[in-house]
Amino acid sequence: MPPRLQIALIDLKITSEIDTIKEIIALMAIWKPDLANRRGPKYLQIVEALSDDIAAGILSCGDRLPPHRELAYQLQLSPNTTSRAYAEAVNRALIRGEVGRGTFVRGPATEAPASDGGTLRRPATGPIDLSRNLPLPGLAGEMLARTCIELGRSGNLAALADYQTGADLDRHTAAAKLWLKRHGVISTAEETVITAGAQHGILCALMALGQPGDLLLAEQLTYQPVKAMAARLGLKIAAIASDSEGPCPEDIDRLCRQRRVRALYLTPTLQTPTGRTMPQHRREAIAAILNAHGVHLIEDDVFGLFHPERPQPIASLAPDLTISITSTSKYLAPGLRVGFVRAPAGLAGAVRSAVNLSCWMTPPLTTEIVARWIADGTADELVARQLAAASTRQALTRRILGEHAPSDHAAGLHLWLDLPDGWSADLFCARAASRNVLVTGGEAFAIARSAGASSIRICLSHEADAARLETGLSVIREILDAGPRQAPLVL
């Protein structure tokens, strides 16, 4: 019996028969999450409280949860918020809804949602998830099977199973240089650093560049972990104003004049989350400012290859100041966690030290797999397949969303939608969640107050099944067509 109820029963000094007690428990057992001391969006606070209460045994498998409207009433929140919380909890496999019966806490493994059997868990049932920016699943599995067999036969796995003490293996560095070149970045062996994916690369770049108290600039809407990393490292972060071409050079210049800026973090091609690509002249203007002020740039190009006509990276215009971040996650297989970074010679040692400090070395085995793929053409094939699939899904999206779709950046794995007047991102997300479609509200990416408050990001590649994507997009279209002032939500 949940501890809180036990206490309640003792307080009431109930001594009657077991059945009566059970009935009373059923009546009293209305779960109420404890949101005190929790931070972040309310719906996520509810999901976290739910997860904590399950972990603590306060809720167990089969326990019934209050209807979302009842919960909203108890917590003095809008039903949209509790409905979104329940949708997210369903998505995280914490609870399940049974038509006509209610919402119940899920059991462990046996009730796990069906998987597509691919490299990542992508449920084929439950809410349609357009909130996660992952590459399309399943393309790398067969290649991985083949390479593992080849590796097993190669007979020289010992080095890959050992600590590396000096530089990375030469063939891994050679592969890294090729991958960087593909992104327009020329790197020597000394300048090349292997990381466990781009996110790790960014962290190591920040560790190498910044001391606590230093100022980092980023776009007002940016890749979420950067904000958290800056906070963890004690860096201050300030937002650069942006326009339709990307971050405004005048604002960067102003900030560099007014404050001691240590570095900028930018994603010039297919930016997360806006999907925007900076034109050449904007890159040149920014490079000129960096060079004039001696300010460093962390240039994240994880999506660059999805845009074959992209301009040259800013790194080519300010090579002595730029740390270039690339990774193989979005094209080959995110689970392999391989990223390739180029840092100017004076900074490469510090980036390498940050790798040593955070994980000693990146796993040689997965780097070996990627290096083989880069050398034997498998990587080319996987990139081509991802690009083809992404462009098919972009075309499908534009067909379904019609006039609601943005006119630019028809490339990559996600799109950014500025909502029509009257919508807030929160309301839209809640309405979509109530129809079992998950998208991300723009504020999740904001480092400036109210940025993104009326925009959403729609990810096109987390769902393995194109039919589910189509259904999700059709729901989004219907919601947009109906407009914000429709009847209230019903879960």
Ligand X SMILES: Cc1ncc(COP(=O)(O)O)c(C=O)c1O
Pairing assessment for the beta strands 261-266 and 296-300 based on DSSP bridges: parallel
Phi/psi class of residue 197: alpha, beta or left (left: φ > 0; alpha: ψ in -120 to 50)?
left
Cβ distance to ligand X smaller for residue 427 or 459: 459
Cβ distance to ligand X smaller for residue 263 or 302: 302
**ω into 273 cis (within 30 of 0):** yes
Cβ 299 to ligand X shortest distance, Å: 11
Cβ distance to ligand X smaller for residue 270 or 469: 270
Cβ 335 to ligand X shortest distance, Å: 9
Could you give the string, one character per residue 65-94, with x where binding to ligand X holds by CB under 6 A and - elsewhere?
------------------------------
Task: State the amino acid at position 195 in one-letter form.
Answer: T
Q: Which of 267, 269, 322, 461 binds ligand X (CB under 6 A)?
A: 267
The answer to whether residue 362 forms part of the interface with ligand X (CB under 6 A) is no
User: Could you identify the residue written with the tokens 């690509």?
Assistant: 277
Closest CA to 355 of 116, 149, 192: 192
Cβ distance to ligand X smaller for residue 33 or 452: 452
Q: Which of 85, 94, 193, 198 binds ligand X (CB under 6 A)?
A: 198
Q: Can you tell me the distance from the alpha carbon of 151 to that of 293, in angstroms, rounded to the nearest whole number?
A: 49
Stretch that binds ligand X, among 46-54, 180-188, 197-205, 286-294 (CB under 6 A): 197-205
Cβ 153 to ligand X shortest distance, Å: 29
Q: Can you tell me the distance from the alpha carbon of 84 to that of 41, in angstroms, rounded to the nearest whole number?
A: 11
Cβ distance to ligand X smaller for residue 123 or 334: 334
Cβ distance to ligand X smaller for residue 198 or 401: 198
Cβ distance to ligand X smaller for residue 199 or 378: 199
Cβ 227 to ligand X shortest distance, Å: 12
Cβ distance to ligand X smaller for residue 79 or 339: 339
Quick check: 198 and 326 in contact, CB under 8 A?
A: yes
Cβ 204 to ligand X shortest distance, Å: 11
The answer to whether residue 300 forms part of the interface with ligand X (CB under 6 A) is yes
Cβ distance to ligand X smaller for residue 297 or 475: 297
The answer to whether residue 133 forms part of the interface with ligand X (CB under 6 A) is yes
Alpha carbon distances (Å) from 139 to 280, 308, 392, 410: 33, 20, 15, 22
The answer to whether residue 221 forms part of the interface with ligand X (CB under 6 A) is no
Cβ distance to ligand X smaller for residue 200 or 431: 200
Q: Which helix (H) or strand (E) holds 122?
A: none
| Residues in 15-54 that interact with ligand X by CB under 6 A | none
CA angle 258, 263, 264 (to 5 degrees): 95
Cβ distance to ligand X smaller for residue 33 or 135: 135
- Position with the least CB separation from ligand X: 197
How many angstroms separate the first and last alpha carbons of the chain? 28
Q: Can you tell me the distance from the alpha carbon of 262 to that of 295, in angstroms, rounded to the nearest whole number?
A: 6
Quick check: 264 and 321 in contact, CB under 8 A?
A: no
DSSP character for 137? T
Both tokens of 319, joined, read: 């090579």
Q: Can you tell me the distance from the alpha carbon of 130 to that of 465, in angstroms, rounded to the nearest whole number?
A: 12
Cβ 442 to ligand X shortest distance, Å: 15
Cβ distance to ligand X smaller for residue 103 or 461: 461
Cβ 225 to ligand X shortest distance, Å: 8
The answer to whether residue 355 forms part of the interface with ligand X (CB under 6 A) is no
User: For residues 87, 88, 93 and 95, what is the CA-based torsion angle, rounded to 10 degrees?
Assistant: -50
| Residues in 463-482 that interact with ligand X by CB under 6 A | none
| Residues in 268-297 that interact with ligand X by CB under 6 A | 272
Q: Which of 123, 246, 247, 334 binds ligand X (CB under 6 A)?
A: 334
Cβ distance to ligand X smaller for residue 223 or 423: 223
Q: How many chain residues interact with ligand X (CB under 6 A)? A: 13
The answer to whether residue 137 forms part of the interface with ligand X (CB under 6 A) is no
Q: Which helix (H) or strand (E) holds 403?
A: none
DSSP character for 175? H
Going edge to edge, which strands form the sheet with 414-418? 414-418, 455-459, 440-441
Could you give the string, one character per residue 141-180, with x where binding to ligand X holds by CB under 6 A and - elsewhere?
----------------------------------------
Closest CA to 208 of 329, 342, 328, 314: 342
Stretch that binds ligand X, among 117-125, 196-204, 213-221, 361-369 (CB under 6 A): 196-204
Residues in contact with 401: Cβ distance below 8 Å, sequence separation at least 6, in sequence order = 417, 473, 476, 477, 480
Stretch that binds ligand X, among 7-15, 158-166, 191-199, 435-443 (CB under 6 A): 191-199
The answer to whether residue 197 forms part of the interface with ligand X (CB under 6 A) is yes
Closest CA to 342 of 165, 223, 201: 201
The answer to whether residue 199 forms part of the interface with ligand X (CB under 6 A) is yes
The answer to whether residue 339 forms part of the interface with ligand X (CB under 6 A) is yes
Instruction: Estimate the share of the chain in helix, then strand, then coil, as percent rounded to the nearest 5.
Output: 45, 15, 40
Q: Which helix (H) or strand (E) holds 75?
A: helix 68-75
Residues near ligand X (CB under 6 A) are 133, 197-199, 223, 267, 272, 300, 302, 327, 329, 334, 339
